[in-house]
Structure 1
């Protein structure tokens, strides 16, 4: 039988089979789809915390991406940056979606910003972590495999949460019975030390960070309605160290194990000095904490499209696959 005749018979058999399909008609084009990836469910505006003040109540929310497999999965909790002045929780969508497609539950949480001062942000970050564990069944989370991630001020918060798991100093009553353990931390162009954020940047950026009205100064000193603050961040080194991941790492008890870190910083960052991540990597090395440190040549801060490209997404995914794997 000729090749042409075989193809004709094969097509006739296929057409006969397709005619038996429900909904078939002569002009229908039949596609056979291979189901290699689960649907990703998105649950938005999940309230994870309510803070009741003297004059108002504030609800803090998160968005959760869930690969719909029906089985417990590792999770990554993401904190967005914003210079402690904003925490738009649905940023860095490309990176978060890449993690979800790789099989991770991905939650992104907003948190209190200035005028709320330190340690409100860390309290919120740890509350979000405990909330995920308390609702592990709802979100299909394996509670033994949870990592944290953030960019800029969100990277600061991820590092603060990851390095304070041994203390309940900043633990609220909400979901208070749950563990605050973190298995891995990824920080993108993070602030790791509140002093020196402008190191090596242009003079205008240095002056902005040296001001008593800089976000980092307002974070630790509070907002003054009299116009008289406690000075720039460098004038309160003890406060700055207490509110810095570098300070937490330096003061970490010897018997406390810190999770592995992934640090990524752009060499052209105009807002947070790349020296921040270099100094943090040195401290991690001295403390014998496993880490990987990547410099992105010519890359700026969060608005640079480089952060959302496939190679960066893959780098983040592979880190969490290795650290949160079975």
Structure 2
């Protein structure tokens, strides 16, 4: 289901801009714009009859703006009750899609830095991008820690089931997750079990991605390398050792998972690089094709805008080169 522009403005707090601004992007191929580009107007609701298990939910969605610079947005979505996909259609589709899952420590989802900004970079080279605004585990959903995963699995199925509508190949549906969104993308990649009851015909197709990109992912829930905030918001203050193990990506069965690309900075003080290193060891043991790029500097949460002029700014091109070897144009 798609929504008109008026509905989108209410949900996303979209900024209306002149058509000329539509061509401005945050791609390394172009100068940084002086005015933020407008948001896309096409969105897809994940759950036509409402998200499952919401009987105990009483939160009110908000989308605050943190940026004071007109050149860019820095919004985050909190207390989401109606999960959506924001669609970035390229001028010349290459047949591939990326589901983008922003981070936010499972406290919120940062829409621009790891969502819209990254989507524009990959849409520029032909990839149809879908930015996921997902539910959060501490908001009262019956599924608890699996509520975000329900949204990710449903999103992958919706994209794959509508492949023909978007000029996509149904076996070229990838996922890119950052930080806690990387944890969620990892869950969607590793787990094979559906976390919700079927809703419609879209739920008959595969729920796993065909390619996975994890940026500085929150991989482990275990000390000493866990990002404590993500674990608390996902599993609560005092999770059992069994729960911690069940949601640690490096402890999961990755057999037959899609190829994985890892990006991390060695100086990441929020999510230690050991999150990626431990996961890489697991992927190798499971014979999952994997590639990792570790940058000496970059910190955490750099996306594409915060690393302009620094070595890590090449990561989108590294991803494209890797994916091309897998016959997966990005």
Contact 2:94–2:127 (8 Å) recurs in 1? no
Question: Do residues 320 (structure 1) and 319 (structure 2) align?
Answer: no
In 1: Cα distance, 2:167 partner to 2:112 partner: 21
Give the CA deviation at 1:180.
Answer: 1.3
Contact 1:267–1:274 (8 Å) recurs in 2? yes
Contact 1:74–1:324 (8 Å) recurs in 2? no
What TM-score do you get using the length of structure 2 for normalisation?
Answer: 0.70
Aligned residues: 255
Give the CA deviation at 1:310.
Answer: 4.3
Q: How does 1:40-55 map to 2 (within 5 A)?
A: 42-49=40-47, 50-51=50-51, 53-54=54-55
Q: Which residue does the alignment assign to 1:290?
A: 289
- Larger relative strand fraction: 1
User: Is the alpha carbon distance of 1:61 and 1:241 closer, same or farther for their aligned partners in structure 2, counting shifts above 3 Å?
Assistant: same
Q: How does 1:1-326 map to 2 (within 5 A)?
A: 42-49=40-47, 50-51=50-51, 53-54=54-55, 58-69=81-92, 73-92=95-114, 93-116=116-139, 117-164=144-191, 166-168=192-194, 170-174=195-199, 175-196=202-223, 199=225, 209=228, 214-221=229-236, 231=238, 233=239, 236-249=240-253, 252=254, 256-303=255-302, 305-306=306-307, 310-325=313-328
Give the CA deviation at 1:215.
Answer: 3.5
In 1: Cα distance, 2:313 partner to 2:230 partner: 32
Contact 1:192–1:280 (8 Å) recurs in 2? yes
> Cα RMSD between the aligned structures?
2.6
In 2: Cα distance, 1:137 partner to 1:172 partner: 25
Contact 1:119–1:243 (8 Å) recurs in 2? no
Give the CA deviation at 1:113.
Answer: 1.3
Q: Describe the SS at the equivalent of 2:51.
A: strand
Q: Describe the SS at the equivalent of 2:104.
A: coil
User: Is the alpha carbon distance of 1:312 and 1:134 closer, same or farther for their aligned partners in structure 2, counting shifts above 3 Å?
Assistant: same
What TM-score do you get using the length of structure 1 for normalisation?
Answer: 0.71
Contact 2:175–2:212 (8 Å) recurs in 1? yes
